[in-house]
Amino acid sequence: MDRTGVSVERRNFPRLVLCRPVRLEVHLAGPEFQINGFNTDGVTVNVSRGGVLVDVNRRIAVGTSCTISILEADGELAPNILQGTVRHTCDGQVGWQIGFEFERPLEVLQEIE
């Protein structure tokens, strides 16, 4: 909120409601080491060119680097793999909602649809 008590919109890109299964590869020691990392599945809530909100059953700490893979209907990994950093966490429908910021904004949303 600003000083007048009015909420200030800080998003750079509009969000699109999108419900797609994803697999998260969580890098606890950085993507080059993958020491003590883990994988977990989730479902997207919404997406923008700058990031994605995902429902997962495990909490992931703010600042954690993750590889985000979209799953096809048959459970196979789609060819589009994204890199992101956790920017916020909160209680979600399944367990936790994790907000990721992509390392680089998507050129178009079709990259993950």
Compute the distance between CA of residue 112 and CA of residue 45 in angstroms, rounded to an integer: 13
| Beta carbons within 10 angstroms of residue 55's beta carbon | 17
Fold for domain 16-103? Thrombin, subunit H (2.40.10)
The overall pTM is greater than 0.85: no
59-89 residue pLDDT tens: 999 999 999 998 887 878 777 789 999 999 9
Owner of token pair 């936790």: 96
User: Per the structure block, which two tokens stand in for 1?
Assistant: 């909120």
